[in-house]
Structure 1
């Protein structure tokens, strides 16, 4: 699954840093600018998957005008746009939506709320980027409902095995060393020993290979592990 790309247009440095940090934690690729004209150029160079756009950009063109222009251009006319603004009046919300915004979040907001709103919009317009379902062969993961099935049968996984399998499903065929899996699944600050990965791989294999199903986790000698049906 490819990473979702976000263009953040926000002239409050502290807020921009907060939003960028939170969405990068959610595995978004975030590009940021505080300038409306630059935002148009960045969107033309590489259309993002979603735009977070501040209504009240200081100087240059307004956020509302950026929204209007993005909707006029072929490359960006279908890119979802969420307006960020301190304006809470219904008339202003309607203006934003009539200009082409897909949603509207009033400041102050919590990062959790904003992430939920962004994912909701992506689910509507680009389901693949919302990461609801990951599949490989007869294996299927519902990342929202935290459910896994193989061949239609429910697979019971602990939280760590779920995260481990999710990482494999997002990178099928890639070979990951124990160290890279520790970073991806347990985090960079983890004190867990690399051999712990082996224990969780065994648990994961036992769970998803039940009923004599083929083992789809390949051990690569001196290298690590991969999700690979062979």
Structure 2
């Protein structure tokens, strides 16, 4: 069973993502900020991180992504960045940080599932 870490500071969005994934065959973990995301990732070694870009706590999603991709134990972990930032430069920054995909909020549940399945192939 694939492990997915949902990193989102807004509990409503985290819950929506969990509901979207509940009928899929995934083990779900959650974090609400960058430092918690890194600690959780090191503890559970997820196959995929769904990572919000703008978060409180002094570490945004771009920094989390960079640290995940530079950690030898986590470097194979796939990352889909989720953000309301939709400019080309924003997406380029996500890809530059190591993201495997970038979804702009709001996104549909079907769009999220399609992206997850594509990234986890």
State the TM-score bracket (shorter-chain normalisation): over 0.9
Match of 1:79 in 2: 77
- Report the counterpart of residue 135 of structure 1 in structure 2: none
Question: What is the correspondence of 1:96-135 to structure 2 with a 5 Å cutoff?
Answer: 96-123=94-121
**In 2, distance between residues paired with 1:78 and 1:113?**
23
> Which 5+ residue runs of structure 1 have no aligned equivalent?
124-230
Q: In the TM superposition, what is the alpha-carbon distance from 1:58 to its structure 2 partner?
A: 1.8
1:212 corresponds in structure 2 to none
Q: In the comparison of the two structures, how many residue pairs are matched?
A: 121
Q: TM-score under structure 2 normalisation? A: 0.96
Q: Which of structures 1 and 2 has the larger relative contact order (alpha carbons within 8 angstroms, sep 6+)?
A: 2
Instruction: Tell me the secondary structure at the aligned position of residue 51 of structure 1.
Output: strand
Deviations 1:178-212 (A, max 9, x none): xxxxxxxxxxxxxxxxxxxxxxxxxxxxxxxxxxx
| Contact 2:35–2:57 (Cα < 8 Å) also in 1 | no
Q: Does 1:27 align with 2:25?
A: yes
Q: Which residue of 2 aligns with 1:93?
A: 91
Q: Which has the larger radius of gyration?
A: 1
CA drift of 1:115 comes to: 0.5
Match of 2:46 in 1: 48
Structure 2 residues without counterparts, runs of 5 or longer: none
